[in-house]
A = this chain, B = another copy of it.
Amino acid sequence: MKKENHNINLKNSNLKVTPQRMAVLEALNNLKNHPTTENIKEYVVKNHPNIAVGTIYKTLETFVEKGLVKKVKTEKDVMRYDAIIENHHHLYCEDSERIEDFFDDELNNMLEIYFKKKKIPNFKVKDIKLQIIGTFKGNKS
């Protein structure tokens, strides 16, 4: 994703375009595996050695509020972020911190149809995400 797009995304959200925000957006788009704030800091610091860590926290919070990024649910004490906004699911590795994206339109359709037919009493479904837990075969975990 190019700088132009970041620029546009920020403006669309009524956010001032600052070097710090551009840097965090770039980190989010380049880092895989649903980065922690720490991961993002490490990436950003390369080009912006003077950025304050509080700014990164604040920036991420702002981005979540504006819907530019999403938080990823985990059972750990560190927050992780997802630069991909479109609906998708996650593969959680049982023995490492690896979390991969999983896209599957067929699955989404199946679930949509299922829950359209079978209502949940007293609950209005807005979104469904799968946590697919298991292990990655082969390559680096």
Contact = CB atoms under 8 A, between A and B. Distances in A.
A74 B73 CA distance: 5
Interface in A47-79: 71-75, 77, 79
A93 to B, nearest CB: 9
A16 interface: no
A116 interface: no
A2 interface: no
Contact of A91 (B100, B102, B120, B131): B120
Contacts of A124: 134-137
Contact of A120 (B75, B77, B122, B132): B132
Contacts of A132: 115, 120, 123, 125, 127-128
Interface in A105-134: 106-107, 110, 114-115, 118, 120, 122-134
A127 B120 CA distance: 22
Contacts of A71: 75
A90 to B, nearest CB: 10
Contacts of A120: 91, 102, 132
A87 to B, nearest CB: 11
9 contacts: A73-B75, A110-B110, A110-B114, A122-B136, A122-B139, A124-B136, A126-B133, A128-B133, A130-B130
